[in-house]
Structure 1
């Protein structure tokens, strides 16, 4: 019997560790997905660096409670899968939300993002945020535009001076 208890304690510690390392954690109901659909979903998540697991809810609730997420108990009912986003907090929400649009049996339940509990509506809002790389690209483009324009103006002034000197 103590072996079983030790195994459960080890599993709770594993879940806690994953929750602590994650920037974004999304809980979803997956019951009703076919094996092919589940495999496709797991592949999409894996490609984005998201870990997707199914744990016993009692163990997940214990881990969440030990980390101070007492309200997660409301979410962790019935068959729940957990997507852990380690690098990009929006990735699990974005992928699961997009997948749920085509596969109605997949239901987002809520999540934890940067240590804060999110309800389904906030998770769906989070899912609309582009990936970090896209945001960085947009920021760099925005920062580069004024410099490019300034260089263009300086070049135009230089050309105008050259034309006036030649004339």
Structure 2
């Protein structure tokens, strides 16, 4: 369906507004993906505060002007799906990585941007592995728990061995 000038302006404004609020952007190349798969992806993304869009590259280039994702303009080519992480920078990559593993090279993460920088493949993986706030708190609590309880157990173990040696 052909878009008139007014519709194109609305799309550009919407994506520009989202890109100004987003923490990171992931670009996926897709081919022969079923509508059901895309709908599942959109639902999961929506539940995780990730905005997904399939838009013409020329409209994306216009929408990215004067945003931190302007670095993506050089790599916007072909049939792409774009995902904006709104709450945590790694959420979009995590979700898309699952779908990439399920498809047979029909769904491939090709680029990402975080803090105004175009990321390499290794950096995209690091972004996916970045812990969320809740995960960070859980790790910290586990570390504190392990340090305090672990030390207590080691002290008890040392006392036990000391008494065992004295008893012999």
Residue by residue, what CA displacement relative to the aligned partner does 1:137-157 show, whole Å, maximum 9, x if unpaired? 11222134334456x47x96x
1:27: which partner in 2? 27
8 Å contact 2:25–2:82 — kept in the other structure?
yes
Change (3 A) 1:35 1:69: closer
TM-score, normalised with respect to structure 1: 0.77
In 1: Cα distance, 2:8 partner to 2:39 partner: 27
For the aligned residue pairs, the C-alpha RMSD in angstroms reads 2.7
Residue segments in structure 1 that go unaligned for 5+ positions in a row = 157-167
2:84: which partner in 1? 84
Change (3 A) 1:68 1:85: closer
Q: Secondary structure at the match of 1:51?
A: strand
In 2: Cα distance, 1:116 partner to 1:42 partner: 25
Change (3 A) 1:101 1:16: same
Query: Cα distance, 1:61 vs. partner?
Result: 0.8
Residue segments in structure 2 that go unaligned for 5+ positions in a row = 157-168
1:99: which partner in 2? 99
After TM superposition, the structure 1 = structure 2 runs for residues 53-68 of structure 1, keeping only pairs within 5 Å, are 53-67=53-67
In 2: Cα distance, 1:86 partner to 1:130 partner: 15
In 2: Cα distance, 1:136 partner to 1:115 partner: 27
TM-score, normalised with respect to structure 2: 0.76
Q: Secondary structure at the match of 1:111?
A: strand
Q: Secondary structure at the match of 2:106?
A: coil
Q: Secondary structure at the match of 1:71?
A: helix
Residue by residue, what CA displacement relative to the aligned partner does 1:87-108 show, whole Å, maximum 9, x if unpaired? 1110101111121011120111
In 1: Cα distance, 2:64 partner to 2:124 partner: 18
Query: Cα distance, 1:83 vs. partner?
Result: 0.9
Q: Indicate the larger mover: 87-96 or 128-137.
A: 128-137
1:43: which partner in 2? 43
